[in-house]
Structure 1
Amino acid sequence: MISSSRAGRPRASSRETLADAACELFLERGYDATSVADITQRAGVSRSSFFNYFSSKSDVLWSGLDDRIAGAVEDLSAVPQDRQGSEVRRILTTLVADFAPDSLALAMTNASAMGLDDELVQDAALRQARLSAALRDLALRSGVTPVSADIVAATWSAAVLAAVRAWAESGAGRGTVSERFDDAVRAVDALPWRALTR
């Protein structure tokens, strides 16, 4: 019997292959000296295959987290007003759950060697802003002032990105992003808010 499955690599495999190839090249040549053509050649896939998965070279590193943030943004937009507190915590906890070591963790750990320091800062800010905007919208729906909404949203989105960075920098195989997020939540709770307003 002939199988009806399509020939070629499974989608996840090609995506992972591209990410692995990109990280290898970033380590060998540096980020700026690596082109999309270099990545596709190393991965053994076409340029169009690359753009089926990623919109830019830097998205190779962020795609896993981008998928999680997109899911969180969608979930945050659907939170009922009467359950915001518990739902926000659940959504953010889900966002950071079950992270596996990936190209982003490798890049954060080897940013200098890959020539990615500035790129990672800029890209992290974009991801934080995307999550912060969704959190701000939710906070505004609950009736808080725009200033309070900005502060709450920035704080919680920073906690998520700080957890990912702390996890990667401590060695992605050591502990979990969820554990680092719990640390970030404790840090937020322990902030000396009153001392800052005196």
Structure 2
Amino acid sequence: MSFTGKVGRPKASSRETLAEAACELFLERGYDATSVADITQRAGVSRSSFFNYFASKSDVLWSGVDERIAQAIRSLNDLHKAATGDAVREVLLLIVRDFEPDPLALALRNAGAMGLDDELVRDTGLRLARLAAAVSRAASAAGVDVIRADILGAAHAAAVLSSLRVWAEHGAGLGTPDAVLRDALATIHHLPWA
């Protein structure tokens, strides 16, 4: 068998290997007792490799969802005056569509054991604020008054993040993440968009 190219882990697997190592260590030692050096040592990669993929230890958990939220925000910004409640909900469903269990799902399910309760509250709040602001901007661009737009933004963002949490905590017994989000969005469907 002959090998060509660089020796070492392929780039795609390094990210996954780092996430797996981090989750193992969070379960074994707890979040606060685990350092980036511990994660890189367990994964067998350099510290610089860690920071090629993640800005911080908590980003290991959120990177997959953050990419989906960033795409949703771009899509929401592109709606402009076409931002109806249905259009916004379709964009938000893309955040959870085909979502596979990942480090965040594992962390949400094992928050107590990993010592992540406070960290997840803080990090969820950041994502909630970003997503709520994007929905609010979309509503405002479509002519919704500011207070109603802010309420719509907060409610829709909470539906997304709560759905992910509930799905992760309860497992596949609830169905797919997008089915859970559809149910959550149905509870706020009565909020008037215009």
TM-score (norm 2): 0.91
* Cα deviations by residue, 1:56-87 (Å, 9 ceiling, x for unpaired): 10010001100000100111111141353332
Q: Is the 8 A contact 2:83 2:141 kept in 1?
A: no
Of 58-67 and 80-89, deviating more is 80-89
Q: Is the 8 A contact 1:69 1:95 kept in 2?
A: yes
Q: Is the 8 A contact 2:36 2:47 kept in 1?
A: yes
Q: Show the 5 A alignment for 1:62-73.
A: 62-73=62-73
Q: Does 2:126 match 1:130?
A: no
Q: Distance in 2 between matches of 1:172 and 1:5?
A: 41
Query: What amino acid does structure 1 have at the position aligned with 2:26?
Result: F
**What is aligned with 1:11?**
11
Q: Secondary structure at the match of 1:99?
A: coil
**What is aligned with 2:82?**
82
Query: What amino acid does structure 1 have at the position aligned with 2:103?
Result: S
Counterparts in 2 of 1:153 and 1:28: CA distance versus 1, 3 Å: same
**What is aligned with 2:22?**
22
Shift of 1:8: 3.1
**What is aligned with 1:154?**
154
Query: What amino acid does structure 2 have at the position aligned with 1:15?
Result: R
Shift of 1:6: 4.5
Q: Does 2:108 match 1:108?
A: yes
Q: Is the 8 A contact 1:101 1:172 kept in 2?
A: no
TM-score (norm 1): 0.89
Q: Distance in 2 between matches of 1:104 and 1:128?
A: 15
Q: Distance in 2 between matches of 1:115 and 1:134?
A: 30
Q: Secondary structure at the match of 1:68?
A: helix
Sequence identity percentage: 60
Shift of 1:174: 5.5
Q: Distance in 2 between matches of 1:84 and 1:6?
A: 50
The root-mean-square deviation of aligned C-alpha atoms, in Å, is 1.9
Segments of structure 1 that go 5 or more residues without pairing to the other structure are 194-198
Q: Secondary structure at the match of 1:170?
A: helix
Q: Distance in 2 between matches of 1:173 and 1:98?
A: 16
Query: What amino acid does structure 1 have at the position aligned with 2:114?
Result: M
Q: Is the 8 A contact 2:174 2:180 kept in 1?
A: no
Q: Distance in 2 between matches of 1:140 and 1:54?
A: 33
Q: Does 2:137 match 1:98?
A: no
